[in-house]
Structure 1
């Protein structure tokens, strides 16, 4: 098949990227502008992400995918080949053409979860910015109660977090959203522009996360970005969850940190051009291990000194809650670069 015909087929599939994913990667689910799944063989999980919108060709094109576990990537033709177990390219083409000939209903528009007045789709950057703008500072709110319950008591430099008393949560398979209190986090790019938002729905008294199926959800453009605490220059610490990142920040309050929000997104974090040293705050699970290894290797290939910080328990918030700030400080002191020990470590 001529190259231009294959490209045309990939473009046509990209225009229906979500329908392709729902058909061939049915074990996954949509998260903002991405389809998340375990791998190209339709294994359940979140390490592979497929872009659902974007230009027709080139960088960021709709249908482009990356697996954070092994660095593999491709387009929707590759997904069809692997998901169907096809060896010959002519068979991939035939299957793609068969799929394109089928009727595919437009995906239902996602209604806004943060406001009655959302006119933008809930997965858009515009909706994410609007949701964050409608939220309020966390001082004295349920967010502060929730974080203090996780032993996160020093909240200096947490302007990326806000509180929304009635953020809509839509249970899977139900049309009617439920208003619930939530912690709203701004996802920003390297220039500080908000590209998305992350919601953590809370219990009515702030004692923990809400007792719902998916108390954490993200919206907007997440890939490469994150929730930032401080402005990174030559040193940055990155981790998965907001609580994971804020925990070592209790004893490293001046060190810039970033929460990537998932293992897959941790592996894809973009580095500031001035970065010289990267600390990776690990979670003790297989997905976290793979993301750590991928990120450390990518940083090293760019000449960035990369250091893994490994918790004793499952994550650094477990360490903070069960072992205390003094013990956490002592443990970090042993692995920090001497310059950073003097510069950032408190006490």
Structure 2
């Protein structure tokens, strides 16, 4: 048999060497193709982080939670302003305002404030106002050279009044008077709701809207707040108020003036105050009253002020009775992160 021969393969063509310019062009093409792929992967990673931790990585501000913008605030900003027309104050909430924790007074999530730090001092506090009777209370305080703290509800629906009424209002003038005469202004939220029953977004709005309204009047907003109905135990609520940079204030003397709003009944509130305050002038108290009550203004406030003088007490602001300097009582929304970080470095 004759030997079978394999067919000859066609002669292979030799590859031409690429020039330097051709190599450069190919590398540039590979780079252009790779860039969008890398960007897509990075975007997917960021989205995954956002979903997994509730939005904690969205803000490239300092990592220390007390010094960072409110966790999840971007989520809040997406729903802010969705209330009924006229229900919210004009202006953008202060999402990006630095909210560092200054001083020795604990912030939300680290305890609540019930009493003064120093014996012989009493912080008279008033909730729900301002209202018609607030000016009378301010007059009485001035007579005794006494100071007080007012926890303001921006939109008190029960009274049908707002502090930010167009063209200015008597309530705005009362707030300016408080600050001018050395009293302290705190927050009692925008519409006085049960905060524990709200979502975080709704709680943020209750606090942020009040900030906008107050800032429009006194050019700053407070760091002290009293939750409506004294509801503070919910862990989520504590966390949110701490993230917003607020001291949470309760009281250790409740006059119950809201239950005794008549000339005959207000004496019961006066007796409650007398029984609670040590007669030797050695106690320290945060007293709960309401400046929207007629007989609180006409009878209870004068009675408390005379009693404090007779027993050797001083009526001071909440901040003073806690040893907190006035510069810590409010925040200026025009401040920047750079300024806030510089202050924290100096404190450190």
Q: TM-score, normalised by structure 2?
A: 0.26
More helix by proportion, 1 or 2? 2
* Structure having greater relative contact order (Cα 8 Å, sep ≥ 6): 2
More strand by proportion, 1 or 2? 1
Q: TM-score, normalised by structure 1?
A: 0.26
Structure with greater Cα Rg: 2
